[in-house]
Amino acid sequence: MRQSEEDREKLGAPPAHESYLTDGTTVMSWLNTRDHKRVGVMFLVAVVFFLFLGGVFALAIRMKLLYPGPFLFDALTYNRLFTLHGVTMIFLFMIPAIPSAFGNFVLPLMIGARDVAFPRLNLASFYVYLAGAVLAVWAMVHGGADTGWTFYTPYSTTTPTMLFPLLLGVFIIGFSSIMTGINFIVTVHTLRAPGIGWMRVPLFVWGIYATSVIQVLATPVLGLTVLLVALERVLGFGIFDPARGGDPVLFQHFFWFYSHPAVYIMVLPAMGVISECVATFSRKNPFGYKAIAFSSLGIAFVGFFTWGHHLFVAGQSVFDNGVFGVLSMFVGIFTAVKVFNWVGTMYRGAISFKTPFAYICGFLFFLVFGGMTGVALATVALDVHWHDTYFVVAHFHFIMVGAVIMGFLAALHYWFPKMFGRTYHEGWGLVAASLIILGFNATFIPQFLLGNNGMPRRYYQYPEHFQALNVASTAGATLLGFGFIIIFIYLVIALRWGPRCEQNPWRSKGFEWLTPSPPPTHNFDKIPHITQDPHDYRTHAPSGVYTDV
Amino acid sequence: MNETLRRFLFLPDQASTFASQVDHLHYFVILTTFVMSTAVGLTAILFFILYRRRSETQTTPHIEPAPLLEAAFVIVPLSFFLLWWVIGYRTSIELATPPADAMDVYVQGKKWMWKFAYPGGPNAVNVLRVPSGRPVRLLMTSRDVIHSFYVPEFRVKQDVIPGRYSQIWFNATAPGRYQILCAEYCGAGHSIMRGEVIVLKAEEYEDWVSAQHRGLATKQDGPPTALDFAPPLGNLVDQGRRLAQEQGCVKCHSVDGSQHIGPTWLDLYGRREKLSDGRIITVDEGYITESMMDPFAKIVDGFKPVMPSFANKLAGPEVAAIVEYIKSLQSDAVRTGPSEGPAYAPVRGR
């Protein structure tokens, strides 16, 4: 506390102001806010709720899979549960999780802006998301969609369950995603503080920027695709159903043209979080800043040309299989560059093993193993055996739960003091992190083996020789669930009773720590003039000085 | 070594010529993955031990990677990835190219069963009998939604799509019984849409086929269906001949080589045709099926686009029967059945 006060005096900054949390405490002051930080916090509450919901569905699925025969509920309920799990986790949790919650909160702080470029659009994005989410969940619970989150035709155009409101919900959520994307792109282009040239933009901002480009370019394709499915169901268009002269495989091309880049919408922000955390907790400048920044853009670009690897056994030509296979590998190269540079950042650093660092270790292992199994899946002949089996399930959970949730939890712990000005219990943080990393491995490593063994995904009943591995996986999922409950408990306690922290408890030189924690409503009384690269730990001098702008 | 690794990785038995080939690539790829992810993890731990924070105000040097190091970060993984890709892609081309002497079986997937039809003989539900040591090509279509034909022990899988014929082939090496699983989600019965491949020794298979022909075994495999109570239909070619009459195909397509409203069916199968847009194609099962379902997609040069679509009029086995009938119409008596090489070239862009 003392030191940061001294810092502030040295810089000639005015004394700490009222924080954004105390600037208006009525419900309306939150619901009607245009403050990016409050919008970020509202997104955080929403996505945590949907993470909980998706997790409950996942546990229900795993409980059923303890036994090979019918158990707990019937096949139709099972099919609805995995649809609920997939749609909730992907559209309601994973896509908005890091960009809309943490991106909203810290991106303007990191580039020294007072808010995002379009604060009203930002708030609108939240309400559009909420409307779409409520509609989608209501539609799934009430109408019982049983298509899986992939909506493959002609199953989705012929199933008697109610699908239209769910498709509409996904369509609406897409707009929220586009609004957030546009907002961030414009913010990064126009609102950077003096001294932040493009090669000084923090790496988290690069990650969010690349994500936003994908969101703006790819999401319209998803919107059109679900609209076409809806039109086919409601008005009988013959786009995808071969019985009406359509082509079911066309749907798969459209769908994956969005949904493969969507994987990078989810993982690039997590990579950005890791870039920040590695530097902070190693007290080292990012090793290969340019390589990390440009590989984010590289992933965003190449990610658009890999969708065909979802169609290796769908009757795509052999030539196309080869091309999509080799293009997919370039994503692996960009990711490998990032991984090596993160490890390089630790070299000759001053590493402190705090909770976020535990998540970094988990992240690195899951990303490398999950990423390399992804490259293995792009090896066409191997995919033939693995396609649509639990191997694929395990692979994308390694990336999405492994990497993305590790990134999400790292962000939550790293920026918790920034957001709420309080600290959580470090011991419990490490206990929960180890429980989650252990539980996660115990859940999904058996699923890799199940896939090798030949168990297809989305199976309500399964041949008996798959049971042992399924039981192991369910045991792991239970551990994982306990980990999340512990985190929830100690964070809620910290929110109310946690000790107040100083402005910069990690002594990080990321630019977002130049304001008080929690920040005042307009972030900076004076806009800082940035004089150093992000995370320059050669000196103790602050990375910016306050100007009179 | 092979056996140890196979068990360690929980891979099923290797019962086709592909299985051990695919598995060897699998071992290479997975072992590299293990080594790499462990190496990254160990390096992180090593750096943590070596470079622990010693004081809260510690400063660190500014280090940038040498360009050569960044290049190595790209080149080393890239060379591994490309090596995997080259091996995997070669194998996949083999998987997509059935040998010319393959035996054909028509497969129809529907919610939630598999039907098999042999060109010269019997039909079966959920049980596919094949001889060992002989390549078998499956020509597959679906009657309702997308299914996927998967036999883990053979390491083969292919989606079965309504309105299209997809193909897959395998050469079973070990007699035995292997489960067929549906790998593409198809509704409430998806997980119980299971069948069985029974691989017989060549002579046992011949015995079974001739028993079927003699009518000694009229009972179909699997649970009885409505088809069991229908009058016997004869083999696929006979069925196709009758259907071509009933559906009016022969009003426009001659079977004796004479010119008419549509191309003649005599010698049609395997013929190279010039299309109205100048492309040259080889007539195979895929093209014939496509022309029945979507006649205007590829019009043979010199003919008018007048044919109606049969997309809702013919069921999967009926399409198969007509295809087999067309294939049987060859002027050269020696050239019967599927035999000519280029007809099996994978059809691009379908």
Reported as a single tens digit per residue, the pLDDT across A35-88 is 999 999 999 999 999 999 999 999 999 999 999 988 888 888 999 999 999 999
Q: Are residues B162 and B213 in the same domain?
A: yes
Task: Say which residues have a Cβ less than 8 Å from residue A188's Cβ, sequence separation at least 6.
Answer: A107, A111, A201, A205, A208, A209
pLDDT value of position B226: 45
B36–chain A Cβ distance below 8 A for any pair: yes
Q: Quote the minimal CA–CA distance from B338 to chain A in Å.
A: 21
Reported as type and span, the H/E element at residue B182 is strand B176-182
Cα–Cα–Cα angle for B35, B39, B40, rounded to 5 degrees: 125
Q: Which residue has the tokens 């957001």?
A: A419
What are the respective helix, strand and coil percentages of chain B, to the nearest 5? 40, 20, 40
Q: Are residues B164 and B251 in the same domain?
A: no
Which pair of structure tokens corresponds to residue A415? 């920026």
Q: Are residues B108 and B87 in the same domain?
A: no
The span from the CA of A33 to the CA of A20, in Å, is 11
Could you tell me how many residues make up chain A? 549
Structural domain includes residue B314: yes
Domain count, chain B: 3
Final residue belonging to a domain, choices B151, B183, B217: B217
Which pair of structure tokens corresponds to residue B333? 């008596």
Which residues of chain B register pLDDT less than 50? Answer: 216-220, 222, 224-231, 333-350
Answer yes or no: do B62 and A536 touch at CB < 8 A.
yes
The span from the CA of A197 to the CA of A544, in Å, is 13
The span from the CA of B339 to the CA of B344, in Å, is 9
Nearest to B29 among A284, A341, A376 (CB): A376
Reported as type and span, the H/E element at residue B284 is none
Q: Are residues B180 and B252 in the same domain?
A: no
Task: Specify the amino acid at residue A294.
Answer: F
| Average pLDDT score over chain A | 91
Q: Are residues B335 and B247 in the same domain?
A: yes
pLDDT value of position A159: 86
Does the pLDDT at position A169 exceed 60? yes
Does the pLDDT at position A8 exceed 80? no
Task: Say which residues have a Cβ less than 8 Å from residue B35's Cβ, sequence separation at least 6.
Answer: none
Q: Are residues B242 and B340 in the same domain?
A: yes
The span from the CA of B253 to the CA of B204, in Å, is 40
Of A65, A60, A58, A63, which Cα lies nearest the Cα of A89?
A58
Half-sphere exposure of residue A199, counting CA atoms within 13 Å on the CB side?
4
Does the pLDDT at position A443 exceed 50? yes
Provide the β-strand partners of residue B158: B149
Label each residue of A197-262 as H, E or C. CHHHCCHHHHHHHHHHHHHHHHHHHHHHHHHHHHHHHHHCCCCCCHHHCCCHHHHHHHHHHHHHHH
The span from the CA of A82 to the CA of A458, in Å, is 8
Answer yes or no: do A385 and B152 touch at CB < 8 A.
yes
Q: Are residues B267 and B211 in the same domain?
A: no
Domain that holds residue B194: 103-217
pLDDT value of position B225: 47
Answer yes or no: do A372 and B191 touch at CB < 8 A.
no
Residue A153 pLDDT level (bands cut at 50, 70, 90)? confident
Nearest to B36 among A249, A283, A368 (CB): A368
Which pair of structure tokens corresponds to residue A476? 């792991």
The span from the CA of A507 to the CA of A37, in Å, is 22
Which of B:14-33 have CB within 8 Å of A?
21-22, 25-26, 29-30, 32-33
Of A365, A366, A290, A378, which Cα lies nearest the Cα of A334?
A290
A277–chain B Cβ distance below 8 A for any pair: no
Please give the backbone phi and psi of residue B272, each rounded to the nearest 5 degrees, phi first: -95, 120
Final residue belonging to a domain, choices B190, B217, B244: B217
Does the pLDDT at position A406 exceed 90? yes
pLDDT value of position B295: 86
Cis peptide bond N-terminal to A518, omega within 30: yes
Residues B133-152 as b/e (b if ≥16 CB within 10 A, e otherwise) read eebbbbbbbbbbbbbbbbbb
pLDDT value of position A3: 47
Answer yes or no: do B188 and A341 touch at CB < 8 A.
no
The span from the CA of A239 to the CA of A254, in Å, is 12
DSSP A399: I
The span from the CA of A385 to the CA of A394, in Å, is 14
Q: How far is CA B341 from CA B10, B167, B264, in A?
A: 38, 15, 21
The answer regarding whether domain A2-15+39-546 maps to CATH 1.20.210.10 reads yes
Task: Say which residues have a Cβ less than 8 Å from residue A332's Cβ, sequence separation at least 6.
Answer: A371, A372, A374, A375, A378, B77, B81
Any idea where the domains of chain A sit in the sequence?
2-15+39-546
Structural domain includes residue B225: no
Residue A341 pLDDT level (bands cut at 50, 70, 90)? very high
- Most confident residue range from A137-146, A476-485, B213-222: A476-485
The span from the CA of B116 to the CA of B105, in Å, is 7
Nearest to B74 among A283, A337, A364 (CB): A337
What is the value of ipTM here, to two decimals? 0.89
pTM of the complete model: 0.84
Structural domain includes residue B231: no
CATH number at residue B330: 1.10.760.10
Q: Which of A12-26, A122-136, B130-144 has the lowest mean pLDDT?
A: A12-26
Q: What is the pLDDT of residues A504-531, one digit of tens each?
A: 999 899 999 999 889 999 898 888 899 8
pLDDT value of position A548: 57
Structural domain includes residue B294: yes
Q: How far is CA A247 from CA A37, A153, A318, in A?
A: 46, 9, 19
Please give the backbone phi and psi of residue B254, each rounded to the nearest 5 degrees, phi first: -80, 160
Q: Are residues B121 and B137 in the same domain?
A: yes
Using a CB-CB cut-off of 8 Å, the residues of chain B touching A318 are: 92-93, 96, 346
Mean pLDDT for A416-431 is: 94
Answer yes or no: do B163 and A242 touch at CB < 8 A.
yes
The span from the CA of B35 to the CA of B26, in Å, is 14
Cis peptide bond N-terminal to A154, omega within 30: yes
Q: Which of A21-25, A471-475, A493-497 has the lowest mean pLDDT?
A: A21-25
CATH number at residue B205: 2.60.40.420
Answer yes or no: do B159 and A315 touch at CB < 8 A.
yes
Contact A520, A108 (CB under 8 A): no
Q: Which residue has the tokens 């909506």?
A: A151
Of A159, A170, A174, A169, which Cα lies nearest the Cα of A232?
A159
Answer yes or no: do B11 and A453 touch at CB < 8 A.
yes
